[in-house]
Amino acid sequence: MESRLPKPTSIKRPMMPVKSILPTDRIKAGGQGGAFSANQTYCGNLLPPLSRDINNLQEMDRRRGRAASPEPAKIGNRAKLRRSRSACDINEMRQNNKRPAAQPTLPSIPSKVSRFGNTNSTAATVPGQRVVRPAGTGTTGTTTATASSVTKRPMAARPLPRSATAAASSRPGAASGNSGSIGSGAAPKRIAPYDFKARFHDLLDKHKVLKTKYEKQVEDMGELESLPTQLEETQSKLIETETSLKNAQTDNECLQRQVKQQTKNIETITTSLGRTKEQLSELQVNHKQIKSEHESLTAEVLCLRQRTEDLQLRNEQQAEELETCKEQLFQSNMERKELHNTVMDLRGNIRVFCRIRPPLESELARLCCTWTYHDEATVELQSIDGQAKNKMGQQIFSFDQVFHPNSSQTDIFEMVSPLIQSALDGYNICIFAYGQTGSGKTYTMDGVPDDVGVIPRTVDLLFDSIKGYRNLGWEYEIKATFLEIYNEVLYDLLSNEQKDMEIRMAKNNRNDIYVSNITEETVTDPHHLRKLMLTAKMNRATASTAGNERSSRSHAVTKLQLIGRHAEKQEVSVGSINLVDLAGSESPKTSIRMTETKNINRSLSELTNVILALLQKQDHIPYRNSKLTHLLMPSLGGNSKTLMFINVSPFQDCFQESVKSLRFAASVNSCKMSKAKRNRYMNSSLPAHNSSSLGSSSICNSFEK
Ligand SMILES: Nc1ncnc2c1ncn2[C@@H]1O[C@H](COP(=O)(O)OP(=O)(O)OP(=O)(O)O)[C@@H](O)[C@H]1O
């Protein structure tokens, strides 16, 4: 019997303990629910049932061996006992061991698998159920799905192998009993203890079942062996997935922030879009209005263009007419100048105005001569002293103009202004005052602050006339010099420096002279010129004389040079005005400063000599005998319009000097000077002008029209 028991040779234990393969610690670490525990390893739970089955079989064999021992006396009892015990043992063993179909022996793979996959799978965690993991399932999800789809059948309900079934069915009464003996839960069919064959077959069936089960488990073991690797792979993938998940979460957070930001932006843009739309609608309305205005304006512009063209045409016509008018005006102005100067010429190139000054309040006690003014040009002088009256007789003098003591400065300048006009037309003008000391020369030329004389009024007239000439296309430049002749020495009244100044002949014309090294100021307005005049007056030598408390003890020459330019006509006109305030003659008997008086009287005497020489038409005119005559040479005998004021005092004690002065003036008045010529040049032919030249007439004569 014993030898006939098949040995479980097909049962193979695992070559190595599964525990050493499985990373139980890792499994424990991640284990939940139905995962493996240390006490549920194959070594602990899976193998013992198998060994117990085998042990049971061995125990049964051992007992059978004992039962077969040669004790005949006890065989009957023992057999009974063995029989009962055998049956009881099996039943007891089955009940005590409670190992039906080794239900708890297999680890709950489905639950373990479900740990990596679907932990919610209830079927996978049911004890006693077995999840068969098909080979080749890689991913956890797939595993879970597969596990959930695999049939999980209780071990008791598991069908026996076909051979076992066939073996069982081949035995009488064993078909139903054996098939349900293992894990079926049904009450097993009792086998008689003495039915060894049946028991053997039963055991054989059990063996087969167990063998099949074992093989299946080995197969499962093989599958499970691959689980760590899969687990590692899965874990690494899980880590990767977690990393990816974290990254994805980070990205997601970032994206969510961006989405929030973009949402805000969209809201802002939407708001601004709304505003923009409103503005757009307003602008569209404005655009319509502007468009309509533009259309109306365009029409207006067209009309205006047409009108502009018409106006331009008219403008051109008028411009032509204006040019013609300008030309006519220019020509008319030239004719006026010619006529004016012709009249001046007819009046004589050297004219004499006689002015008798009134007695001052302080002089009311002084006796005055008898002055009879026959007409505006004739004056009769009589001495109130009978002796002198008989000696000198009636003294009647005729001049170009006689101004009685009541004549005002305005009356005087009214007669002078035409000469100033001539200067602007390019003529040389010379105005000088001659007379006894205290006779009113300085009063006539400079005047007093409340009643200015010829020179300040000349300045005002010049600048007024320049404005009018500007409308005719003339631009004027005025240059001024202030010269003093004191004791036959030249002084620059605009400078306090000691200078070596001389009267020199111009190189280009022997009749032209200039003063070297003199300060020349270009004046742009009357105020500037007045300031210069004041400076010159302050620098002039004055002293007290018998006839004048503040007598001018020098000859003062103010020269104004007028340079006019007509750009359009390319014409330049150069005129000059010499305004001379001579020092007063004085009787040596009353003089305090003899040298000074001698020089003054000498220069005045030389002036008389020059005039007489001119009267007598002598070949030699002694201009160079004194600084004064030398300086006035162009004005006395050259190209100049000259005006001489003869100033006389009304007093009886000045009778002799007054007669002397009037006789000299009368002789000057009879002097026939050559006709003055106008200084006109074309721009291209304008010579280099020496501004220091006192008289520029000679420069200009060669260009006389
Ligand atoms: N027409 C006048 N009306 C009023 N006062 C006058 C007139 N002429 C001269 N006078 C006054 O007479 C005084 C002498 O005049 P002024 O100084 O002009 O003489 P003068 O000829 O220049 O003398 P000098 O040659 O010594 O310089 C001054 O006080 C001046 O104001």
In a shared domain, residues 496 and 645: yes
The SS3 of residue 397 is: strand
Residue whose CA is closest, atom 14 of ligand 1? 438
Helical segments of 348-402, H only? 386-392
Query: 223 falls in which pLDDT band (50, 70, 90)?
Result: confident
Higher pLDDT pick, 76 / 423:
423
Query: 331 falls in which pLDDT band (50, 70, 90)?
Result: confident
- Residue 615 CA to ligand 1 center (angstroms) comes to 30
In a shared domain, residues 342 and 356: no
Kindly tell me if the per-residue pLDDT of 554 is higher than 90: no
| Mean pLDDT lowest among 82-96, 151-165, 251-265, 680-694 | 151-165
| Mean pLDDT lowest among 348-352, 557-561, 566-570, 700-704 | 700-704
Ligand 1 binding pocket includes 509 (Cβ within 6 Å): no
What pLDDT is attached to residue 115? 42
Ligand 1 binding pocket includes 360 (Cβ within 6 Å): yes
314, 347, 380 — which closes off a domain? 347
| Residues 404, 446: Cα–Cα separation, whole Å | 18
**Ligand 1: nearest atom to the Cα of 443:** 18
Query: 280 falls in which pLDDT band (50, 70, 90)?
Result: very high
- Residue 634 CA to ligand 1 center (angstroms) comes to 28
| Residues 540, 544: Cα–Cα separation, whole Å | 13
| Residues 111, 120: Cα–Cα separation, whole Å | 10
Residue whose CA is closest, atom 2 of ligand 1? 357
| Residues 21, 26: Cα–Cα separation, whole Å | 12
pLDDT tens per residue, range 4-54: 444 444 444 444 444 444 444 443 444 443 333 434 434 334 444 444 555
**435 annotated ligand-binding residue:** yes
Task: Count CB neighbours of 409 within 10 A.
Answer: 19
Q: Confirm whether 277 is domain-assigned.
A: yes
In a shared domain, residues 548 and 631: yes
Residue whose CA is closest, atom 4 of ligand 1? 358
**Ligand 1: nearest atom to the Cα of 547:** 26
Q: Residues near 224 by Cβ (< 8 Å), separated by ≥ 6?
A: 18, 22, 107, 109
In a shared domain, residues 457 and 394: yes
Count: domains in the chain: 2
Sort strands 571-581 and 428-435 into parallel, antiparallel or unpaired: parallel
Choose among 482, 484, 427: nearest CA to 673: 427
In a shared domain, residues 340 and 378: no
Q: Confirm whether 443 is domain-assigned.
A: yes
ipTM: 0.98
In this structure, are residues 540 and 554 in contact, taking their beta carbons and an 8 Å threshold?
Answer: yes
Residue whose CA is closest, atom 11 of ligand 1? 440
CATH of the domain at 479: 3.40.850.10
In this structure, are residues 112 and 106 in contact, taking their beta carbons and an 8 Å threshold?
Answer: no
Mean pLDDT calculated for residue range 187-210: 83
Ligand 1 binding pocket includes 545 (Cβ within 6 Å): yes
Mean pLDDT calculated for residue range 627-647: 83
**438 annotated ligand-binding residue:** yes
- Residue 550 CA to ligand 1 center (angstroms) comes to 9
Ligand 1 binding pocket includes 426 (Cβ within 6 Å): no
Amino acid at 631: L
What pLDDT is attached to residue 671? 66
Query: 421 falls in which pLDDT band (50, 70, 90)?
Result: confident
Q: Confirm whether 490 is domain-assigned.
A: yes
313, 347, 381 — which closes off a domain? 347
Give the residue numbers spanning the domain of 299: 234-347
In this structure, are residues 559 and 480 in contact, taking their beta carbons and an 8 Å threshold?
Answer: yes
Ligand 1 binding pocket includes 649 (Cβ within 6 Å): no
Contacts of range 59-64, beta carbons closer than 8 Å, 24 or more positions apart: 60/86, 60/89, 60/203, 61/2, 61/5, 63/89, 64/1, 64/2
What pLDDT is attached to residue 407? 92
**138 annotated ligand-binding residue:** no
Query: In a mutational test of the pocket of ligand 1, which residue from 548, 551, 599, 604 has the highest number of ligand atoms less than 8 Å from its CB?
Result: 548
Q: Confirm whether 282 is domain-assigned.
A: yes
What pLDDT is attached to residue 12? 45
3-state secondary structure 219-258: HHHHHHHHHHHHHHHHHHHHHHHHHHHHHHHHHHHHHHHH
In a shared domain, residues 330 and 243: yes
Kindly tell me if the per-residue pLDDT of 306 is higher than 60: yes
| Residues 669, 435: Cα–Cα separation, whole Å | 15
Higher pLDDT pick, 420 / 68:
420
**Ligand 1: nearest atom to the Cα of 582:** 25
| Residues 501, 491: Cα–Cα separation, whole Å | 7
Mean pLDDT calculated for residue range 145-171: 41
| Residues 627, 642: Cα–Cα separation, whole Å | 18
Kindly tell me if the per-residue pLDDT of 545 is higher than 60: no
| Mean pLDDT lowest among 39-53, 251-265, 566-580 | 39-53
Lookup: tokens for 506: 């111009």
What pLDDT is attached to residue 149? 38
Q: Confirm whether 489 is domain-assigned.
A: yes
What pLDDT is attached to residue 567? 84
What pLDDT is attached to residue 357? 92
**447 annotated ligand-binding residue:** no
In a shared domain, residues 298 and 419: no
Ligand 1 binding pocket includes 443 (Cβ within 6 Å): yes
Q: What is the dihedral of CA 194, 200, 205, 211, to 10 degrees?
A: 140
Higher pLDDT pick, 207 / 144:
207
Kindly tell me if the per-residue pLDDT of 674 is higher than 60: no
Sort strands 513-515 and 693-695 into parallel, antiparallel or unpaired: antiparallel
| Residues 591, 613: Cα–Cα separation, whole Å | 29
Q: Name the average pLDDT for the chain.
A: 72
| Residues 595, 299: Cα–Cα separation, whole Å | 91
In this structure, are residues 147 and 113 in contact, taking their beta carbons and an 8 Å threshold?
Answer: yes
- Residue 443 CA to ligand 1 center (angstroms) comes to 5
Kindly tell me if the per-residue pLDDT of 408 is higher than 90: yes
Question: Residue 418, exposed/middle/buried by CB under 10 A (0-12, 13-18, 19+)?
Answer: middle
Ligand 1 binding pocket includes 552 (Cβ within 6 Å): yes
| Residues 518, 692: Cα–Cα separation, whole Å | 7
What pLDDT is attached to residue 574? 85
Query: In a mutational test of the pocket of ligand 1, which residue from 442, 485, 604 has the highest number of ligand atoms less than 8 Å from its CB?
Result: 442
Sort strands 395-398 and 378-382 into parallel, antiparallel or unpaired: antiparallel
Q: Confirm whether 586 is domain-assigned.
A: yes
- Residue 633 CA to ligand 1 center (angstroms) comes to 27
Q: Confirm whether 24 is domain-assigned.
A: no
Higher pLDDT pick, 456 / 640:
456
pLDDT tens per residue, range 656-671: 888 888 988 888 777 6
In this structure, are residues 459 and 465 in contact, taking their beta carbons and an 8 Å threshold?
Answer: no
Question: Residue 408, exposed/middle/buried by CB under 10 A (0-12, 13-18, 19+)?
Answer: exposed
| Mean pLDDT lowest among 8-22, 418-432, 502-516, 601-615 | 8-22
In a shared domain, residues 456 and 566: yes
Kindly tell me if the per-residue pLDDT of 516 is higher than 60: yes
- Residue 560 CA to ligand 1 center (angstroms) comes to 24
Ligand 1 binding pocket includes 362 (Cβ within 6 Å): no
In a shared domain, residues 503 and 595: yes
Q: Confirm whether 165 is domain-assigned.
A: no
Ligand 1 binding pocket includes 441 (Cβ within 6 Å): yes
What pLDDT is attached to residue 678? 60
Kindly tell me if the per-residue pLDDT of 72 is higher than 50: no
Say what percent of the chain tops pLDDT 90: 13
| Mean pLDDT lowest among 520-524, 659-663, 666-670, 685-689 | 685-689
**437 annotated ligand-binding residue:** yes
| Residues 320, 314: Cα–Cα separation, whole Å | 10
**30 annotated ligand-binding residue:** no
What pLDDT is attached to residue 637? 72
**Ligand 1: nearest atom to the Cα of 446:** 18
- Residue 496 CA to ligand 1 center (angstroms) comes to 26
Mean pLDDT calculated for residue range 453-461: 91
- Residue 647 CA to ligand 1 center (angstroms) comes to 9
In a shared domain, residues 328 and 453: no
Kindly tell me if the per-residue pLDDT of 174 is higher than 70: no
| Residues 166, 501: Cα–Cα separation, whole Å | 166
Q: Check residue 46 and report its DSSP letter.
A: I
In this structure, are residues 53 and 260 in contact, taking their beta carbons and an 8 Å threshold?
Answer: no
Choose among 647, 640, 654, 644: nearest CA to 694: 640
3-state secondary structure 621-677: CCHHHCHHHHHHHHHHHCCCEEEEEEEECCEHHHHHHHHHHHHHHHHHHCCCCCCCC
**128 annotated ligand-binding residue:** no
Helical segments of 435-525, H only? 441-445, 454-471
Residue whose CA is closest, atom 12 of ligand 1? 440
- Residue 411 CA to ligand 1 center (angstroms) comes to 17
Q: Which residues pair with 504 in a beta bridge?
A: 514
Kindly tell me if the per-residue pLDDT of 107 is higher than 60: no
Ligand 1 binding pocket includes 130 (Cβ within 6 Å): no
- Residue 624 CA to ligand 1 center (angstroms) comes to 30
Highest mean pLDDT among 479-488, 630-639, 679-688: 479-488
Query: 148 falls in which pLDDT band (50, 70, 90)?
Result: very low
In a shared domain, residues 423 and 317: no
Could you tell me the pTM of the whole model? 0.54
Kindly tell me if the per-residue pLDDT of 411 is higher than 90: yes
Query: In a mutational test of the pocket of ligand 1, which residue from 402, 443, 444, 591 has the highest number of ligand atoms less than 8 Å from its CB?
Result: 443
Choose among 494, 534, 541: nearest CA to 517: 494
Exposed e or buried b per residue across 228-253, where buried means at least 16 C-beta atoms within 10 angstroms of its C-beta = bebbeebbeebeeeeeeeeeeeeeee
Mean pLDDT calculated for residue range 254-264: 90
Task: Count CB neighbours of 79 within 10 A.
Answer: 15
347, 376, 401 — which closes off a domain? 347
**595 annotated ligand-binding residue:** no
In a shared domain, residues 329 and 397: no
Cα-Cα-Cα-Cα dihedral sign, residues 663, 664, 666, 672? positive
